Amino acid sequence: MTPRFVEGNTVKLLENGTQYFPALIAAIDSACREIHLETYIFANDATAKSVVDALIRARNRQAGVRVMVDGFGARDFTEELGRDLIDAGCEVMVYRAEAPKMRFRRNRLRRLHRKLVVIDGRIAFVGGINIIDDLTDTEPGFPRHDYAVSVEGPVVADIHYAVRHLWRLVRWAYLQQRPEAPPEFHLDCHSCGTVSAAFLIRDNLRHRRDIENAYLDAMAAAQTEIIIACAYFLPGNRFRTALMTAARRGVAITLLLQSRGDHAVLRNAERMLYDALLPAGVRIVEYTAGFLHAKVGIADKRWVTVGSSNIDPFSLLLSREANVVIDDAGFAQILHERLCHTIDSGGREIRLEELKQRSWWSRLVNMAAYAFVRFAISVSRYGGKDYRE
């Protein structure tokens, strides 16, 4: 589906939790009517507790508070901080609560990976940042590096519709009956800026390829430069071909990928792709100053996407994801400067000579990991031809 761009928005870049959570809590504290929050991970740490406290304050002001977490990524939430929300009168739902581990079902792989917050239908937050401190569950001295945006303007109406629609779907699944819709109210989504933006989701029905196709269209149209920063990068054949085709026609392409990852098999499988990408002219930089959790892209310092979707089978084939796509040179310049700073200050470029010199053991590990991932995708029957080639 072609992105539906709307004019008249204001979009602000938020880098890491140090910028994101103060902005989020301030917006929650301004709420009068309604808050919808969706997240994959809702940790039990000081930062998450500060978000919960703000949500409870909003509920005490009689705002409707609805929180949806993933049943795998936040599987202990309802027994921890979620209990405080429920006791305060907030509504909490779990997307696909985890089944017993010994009972495997294919649909367990379909997760809620979106990170969305919509407040009073007026301001929305979209990105890759979960409700977790940058230093929780990381190595000492190696914080997460991630991005989100706050959005105001007409595009918020599309984001608001998406969160309310999913809330009704999941509630229906829980109650096995048609639920009442959250109270309707007039959205305050008037034009308030100059940015053109579109909101995209990935689901398993009408929007299976929307985010991936947006990337493919941007790569096909790019003339000068593409930068993609991605926590998990294991694209299918279409995406790889588009990337290498752009590089061969002279587009300067930089991939900023993880150096230290929390999924060893995926990380080793990714490195198998270097053998094709580097000779095609794609520049690869691994982030060494922390844990890269970003999911952003820029083309020609004009087209930008920021969101929750990685470029791997989990995000592109299975999960519910959400990205905002922005067509604005001013915003693109801001993100471009931040990415270049990140690359210069915390990145290590992988050279073709280095790749050729890696040990036979490293090559074997990469090949085995890549073969395993392809086999797993084939067994799941979700991948299709794009991930079998």
Query: Could you give the residue numbers annotated as active site?
Result: 113, 115, 120, 293, 295, 300
Q: Are strands 295-299 and 303-307 parallel, antiparallel or unpaired?
A: antiparallel
Q: Are 149 and 6 in contact (CB under 8 A)?
A: no
Spatial neighbors of 53 by CB under 8 A, at least 6 apart, are: none
Report how far residue 145's alpha carbon sits from residue 235's, in angstroms, rounded to the nearest whole number: 21
Q: Is 92 helix (H, G, I), strand (E, B) or coil?
A: strand
- Choose among 295, 301, 312: nearest CA to 146: 295
| 277: number of Cβ within 10 Å | 20
Report how far residue 126's alpha carbon sits from residue 213's, in angstroms, rounded to the nearest whole number: 19
Burial 53-92 (b: 16+ CB within 10 A, else e): bbbbbbbeeebbbbbbbbbbbbeebbeebbeebeebebbb
- DSSP one-letter string for 23-54: HHHHHHHT-SSEEEEEES-B-SSHHHHHHHHH
- DSSP one-letter string for 364-385: HHHHHHHHHHHHHHHHHT-S-G
No. of helices (H) and no. of strands (E), the chain: 12, 17
Q: Which amino acid is at 31?
A: A
**C-alpha triplet 46, 52, 55: angle, nearest 5°:** 150
**C-alpha triplet 72, 311, 208: angle, nearest 5°:** 75
Report how far residue 190's alpha carbon sits from residue 160's, in angstroms, rounded to the nearest whole number: 14
**Token reading at 85:** 């929300």
**C-alpha triplet 257, 259, 260: angle, nearest 5°:** 125
